[in-house]
Amino acid sequence: MADDTLLDDVGTLLQKAADEVVVPLFRKLDAADVAEKAPGEIVTVADRRAEELISARLRELRPDSVVVGEEAVADDRDLLRHLDGGGDVWLVDPVDGTSNFAAGRRPFALMAALLTDGEPTAAWVLDPLAGLLATARAGDGTYLDGQPVRLPEGAPPPQELRGVAMTRFLPPAARERVSAGRSRIGELLPGQHCAGREYLDILTGRQQFALFWRTLPWDHAPGALLVRLAGGVARRFDGSEYHPADEGHGLLVAANEQVWTEVRDTLLGD
C-alpha cells in the first residue's frame, strides 16, 4: 500500500487485532492461557496471537522491514540490535498492560512504532475499550481519532499539575525525592499499569506528565513520538532525549518544556 496511507493502514491493523484476538479474550482467559515468561512478567495467549497477526501484516506493508515484538524479544533478545540499525524496523507491543488484561481490568492498549534508519518516524496507540486511536508521523504531527492534536504551551504552578509517577522500580534515592515532592504537586497518581494509556492521557489533557523508571522500547517508543510530535517532551531525568535503542533508565514525559522543567525540579531535584 502507498506510504501516504501508512497511518490508516497500521491503525486498521491494530483495530483488526483488537477485534479478532484481544478483546474477545478479555475476561475469558483460562489458567492455561496465562504463563510467566520471566520472574514477575506474564504473557497471555492474546499477546502471542495478536503479535503474530500484527507482525505478519506489517511485513506485508514493508516487505524488507524487521519486526521487533515484545514477545519475540522474550524468546530472542538479539532482535534488539535492529533498533539502531538501518532500514525499516517495527516495534510492537501487542497488549500493553498485560497484567491488567490478565486480571480482567482495564486499561490495556495495542501499540506500534516505525523506526527508519534508527529514528522513530511513526507511531500508533490504540485503547480498544475506550475506542481511542492516536497516530503520529514525522513531518505530519499527531492525531487522535483522525483529528490533529497540539498540546498547550505554558504551565500552571506545580500545585495545579496532574500526572503519574511510577515509583515501584525507582532507586531508593529517587523514590525518596519523589515522595518528598509529592505535596508540592497538585495530584500525583500511582499509574495505571499501562504506559500506552498514560501517553493517551497526556494527549487528551487528563494529565500533564508521566514519570517512569523502566523504559522498554515497545512500551515507550510509540507514546514518546506521539507526545513529541504534538509539542511535548520525552527526556531522561538528566535532560537527554529518549531513544528506544538506549537501554538506560528513567523517563519524564510532559506536555511541554515548561511542565517538564517544573516536574523535574519538583520531583527529582536535589
Binding residues for Mg(2+): 70, 93, 96, 219
Strands (E), the chain: 34-38, 41-44, 66-69, 88-96, 109-116, 119-127, 132-137, 141-144, 147-149, 162-165, 187-189, 209-212, 233-235, 251-254
Lookup: cell for 70: 515484545
Give the count of beta carbons closer than 10 Å to the beta carbon of residue 42.
15
Q: What is the largest CA-CA distance in the chain?
A: 52
**Which DSSP category does 242 fall into?**
P
Cα gap 51→93, rounded to integer Å: 7
3-state secondary structure of 96: strand
Task: Give phi and psi for 213, each to the nearest 5.
Answer: -105, -55
Residue 134 in grid coordinates: 492516536
Q: Which residues are annotated binding-site positions?
A: 70, 93, 96, 219
Grid cell 502507498 in the structure block, residue: 2
Phi, psi of 27 (to 5 degrees): 65, 20
Residues whose CB is less than 8 angstroms from the CB of residue 24 and which lie 6 or more positions away in sequence, other chains included: none
